[in-house]
Structure 1
Amino acid sequence: MSDYVVIGGARSRAMRVLWMLEELGQPYSVVNAMPGSDEVRAYNPTGKVPALVEDGVVIPDSVAIMTYLADKHGALTAKAGSMARAQQDAFVNALNDEIDAVLWAAARHSFILPEEQRVAGVKDSLRWEFGRNQHAIAERMDPEEPFVMGSEMSLADILLSHCMGWAGSAKFEVTNERLLAHNAMMRARPAFKRALAAGS
């Protein structure tokens, strides 16, 4: 089997995949191309990153890639078909709906959409929504253990920490103490630092 190829750099959702591969100890290379570029469109017609290439097959979407890698390598996830996996998937879907989607909407209206399609005022509403939703997400986390789902790290932790970093870059204030502590713990991990360097 050939090594994985990650399309996209550390300043995008591709960071989630780079981090995942580092935590799994899997070899990979990076095509640090910009979203929307011809180089990215050669792998994903939407122009979005990340994409993962394995043996000539392209998988788009960060969460789909993370789930595939976790299942394939038997790590950072609960067993498919288990109640623990259902709870993990529920958290990941909620995080996508309540945090990732809000940040993505803000990004679209900041620099992605054509200028005439951007609505500047929408970001105030999105910041309010983010402020409310962060507390709901924190309440879904295991209150007694360090990681989202309990005593063991999962892909949900990577996704959450990446979203918190993205929020900081977008000037969406994270005020929830549980989320702040979790993010600090996650970003101290050596795999995070290696992924950041690899994708820069």
Structure 2
Amino acid sequence: MYTVIGPVASRALRVLWMLEELGQSYEHIKAAPRSEGVVAFNPAGKVPVLIVDGTPVTDSTAIIQFLADRHGAMTHPAGTLARARQDSLTQFLLDEFDAALWMAARHSFILPEELRLSGIKNTLRWEFERSQHVLVQRMGEGDFVMGDEMTVPDIILSHCLSWALAAKFPIVEHRLTDYLDRMRARPAYKRALAK
């Protein structure tokens, strides 16, 4: 059994969702970032943390890719061209979607008020919109990012698109709006969100 540390309203949702998709049992500890319960396992105080056989694993992308590899699901085998494409899409989403949203969050409520630059959010929204146009050209045919099978990038993209809506970053590509509706309708997503 796994232990997931971090609130649902964080990147911990990615890990909870992956575990639900994989049908794995886990304990969920809703400790807040930088709390004592988190810093004990991650000195940076960031969530999520996954405890596996007493060992903490940090960073949501590393965690969900580890789980996919470990359980042989929602991923392509290492060393294949399909995995190279999957990893490329994962990196694109982290660089172009997650990074823009995280920077906006930092300048909204994370950084000390005197260090926040509210004007940067307009630039980030512009970049986020441009990245959507690029992504839809890279997506495969089918219901998921790579085509007919759900893989690691689907969890990252769905989480980022939901985060974007909450942060008032418009989703301008109709294909991505439809995609998000399908992903949020998945039973495993609903179970993870209900934690």
State the secondary structure of the residue aligned to 1:44: coil
Quick check: 1:165 aligned with 2:172?
no
**Equivalent residue, structure 2, for 1:180:** 177
Quick check: 1:194 aligned with 2:191?
yes
Q: For 1:30 and 1:160, how far apart are their aligned partners in 2?
A: 23
Q: Deviations over 1:114-136 (max 9, x none)?
A: 11111111111111111111111
What runs of 5+ residues in structure 2 fail to find an aligned partner? none
Equivalent of residue 41 in structure 2, options 30, 43, 65: 43
Q: For 1:139 and 1:9, how far apart are their aligned partners in 2?
A: 33
Equivalent of residue 19 in structure 2, options 4, 9, 21: 21
TM superposition shift of 1:193: 0.5
Output aligned runs, 1:53-68, within 5 Å. Answer: 53-68=51-66
State the secondary structure of the residue aligned to 1:126: helix
TM superposition shift of 1:188: 0.4
TM-score between both structures, scaled by the size of structure 2? 0.98
State the secondary structure of the residue aligned to 2:194: helix
TM-score between both structures, scaled by the size of structure 1? 0.95
Segments of 4+ moved more than 3 angstroms = none
Equivalent of residue 84 in structure 2, options 86, 94, 98: 86
Q: For 1:137 and 1:29, how far apart are their aligned partners in 2?
A: 35
**Equivalent residue, structure 2, for 1:75:** 73
State the secondary structure of the residue aligned to 1:46: coil
**Equivalent residue, structure 2, for 1:8:** 6
Q: For 2:43 and 2:138, how far apart are their aligned partners in 1?
A: 35
Q: Deviations over 1:9-68 (max 9, x none)?
A: 210000000000000000001110111222211111111111100111000000000110
| Greater relative contact order, per chain length (Cα 8 Å cut-off, separation 6+) | 1
In the comparison of the two structures, how many residue pairs are matched?
195
**Equivalent residue, structure 1, for 2:149:** 152
What runs of 5+ residues in structure 1 fail to find an aligned partner? none
